[in-house]
Each structure stands twice: as C-alpha cells, then as structure tokens.
Amino acid sequence: MYETILVPLDNSWADDTILNHVKALARLMGSRLILLHVADGMVARNQMQLNLDDSEEIRSDRLYLEERRAVLAGEGFEVSARLACGNPTDHIVSVAAEEHCDLIAMSTHGHRLVKDVVLGSVASAVRHRTDIPVLLVRASKPRSV
C-alpha cells in the first residue's frame, strides 16, 4: 500500500516523533523512505542570487540528513535523503510527485490559531496542495531533565 513514504524533516526535536511512527509503518509495509529537508533560511532561499555554493546552513543540514539516513539504513531500511532550498511546501509537494510517493508523513509542532497564522503551517499547506495521503503526527516535546 505504501511503497514510498516521503518524510519531511525540519532538523528539530519534532523529527524523532515522525521517524518513530514511520519506522513502524515502513517495516510493516516494506516501504522505501525518502527523507527531505528544505533549508528555508534567508541565505538558503537566496543562495543562487548570492552566488553561494555551500553556506554553513547548507553544510549543517546536509550533515544532519546524512546522519539520519545512515541510522535508518543501519536499521535495515531502504532510505535516501534529499536537501532542497526555498519554500518548504513547494518542495515537499513537488518531491512527493517526482518520487511517486504513496504517503507524506510529517510531524506538527502543535501551534494553534494565531501562532499558525504568524509562523505558518507547512503541514496544513501541504495537505491542501496534494492528492497524496498525508499522515500528520503531533510532535512530543522532549522531556527536560
């Protein structure tokens, strides 16, 4: 049913929540995973115009993705990783279509009302712009010691 699952990661504490859910589902379904991170900082969004080959933000994001990919591969998953720059919603929707994904699995931070308007909601925008099923899992904040 879910041969290919796109998992957008935002390089935050929320990533663990969605990866834990997706791992169980992918094992059950024998799914291939595609990790996607969209760098959307000022430098990343304007990288081409600024003639930057590789900013610190991009290097850090690439390393993060590779570490996540390697851990999943070590656990036996068929997994690849992609890094993009720009608008997260645009890239999530286009990569899901390009890769013929059967599911987009995302974590949400649980913002409500005003915070969603101010901070935006990539998850909400994605679900309105694709016909691919979207699994949304509210992220659990890590417990402080």
Q: Using one digit for the tens of pLDDT, what is the confidence trace for 80-115?
A: 999 998 899 999 999 999 999 999 999 987 655 444
Separation CA 48–CA 44 (nearest Å): 8
Selected from 3.40.50.1000, 1.20.140.10, 3.10.20.30, 3.40.50.620, the CATH number assigned to the domain covering 4-138 reads 3.40.50.620
The predicted-structure confidence for 34-79, as pLDDT tens digits, reads as follows 999 998 765 555 554 555 556 777 888 999 999 999 999 999 999 9
User: Who wins on pLDDT, 15 or 109?
Assistant: 15
Residue-level pLDDT at 121: 84
Q: What is the pTM of this model?
A: 0.85
Q: Find the mean pLDDT for residues 122-127.
A: 91
